[in-house]
Amino acid sequence: MPAEEASGIHCRLDELLADRGMTLTELSKRVGVSLVNLSVLKNDRAKAIRFSTLTAICDVLECRVGDLLVTAGGAAGAP
C-alpha cells in the first residue's frame, strides 16, 4: 500500500516545484533540508514533518500548507 493511501495525505511538492521552475536540489539548498528528506516527502513516504520544515518549504515556494499537503481525496479532485 503506498504511503499516500496509508496516511490519506498527498504531498504536491512535484507540482509546486514544476510550477516555479525549481529543482528539488535548489529547494534543498534554500530550505536547509537534505535532498534525501525532501525526496521522502515528495514521494509520499514521509511519516512526519517538522513545522519548521513545513514553514521553510512554504516560505521558499511562496505557498500555503494547504497548497503543499492535501488529503488523498483532494488530490484526486473528490470532495
Q: Is the pLDDT of residue 69 over 50?
A: yes
What is the residue-wise DSSP string for 30-50?
HHT--HHHHHHHHTT--S---
Grid coordinates in use for 11?
Answer: 504531498
Query: Whole-model pTM?
Result: 0.82
Percent of all residues in the chain with a pLDDT value above 90, rounded to a whole number: 80
* Domains of the chain, each with CATH number or no CATH: 3-68 (1.10.260.40)
Query: Reduced to 3 states, what is the DSSP secondary structure of residue 61?
Result: helix
Task: Give me the pLDDT at residue 18, please.
Answer: 98
Q: Is the pLDDT of residue 78 over 50?
A: no
- pLDDT band for position 72 (50/70/90)? confident
Mean pLDDT of 5-24: 91
The per-residue pLDDT of the chain, averaged, comes to 88
* C-alpha torsion sign, points 17, 33, 69, 9: positive
* Eight-class DSSP state of 47: S
Task: Give me the pLDDT at residue 58, please.
Answer: 98
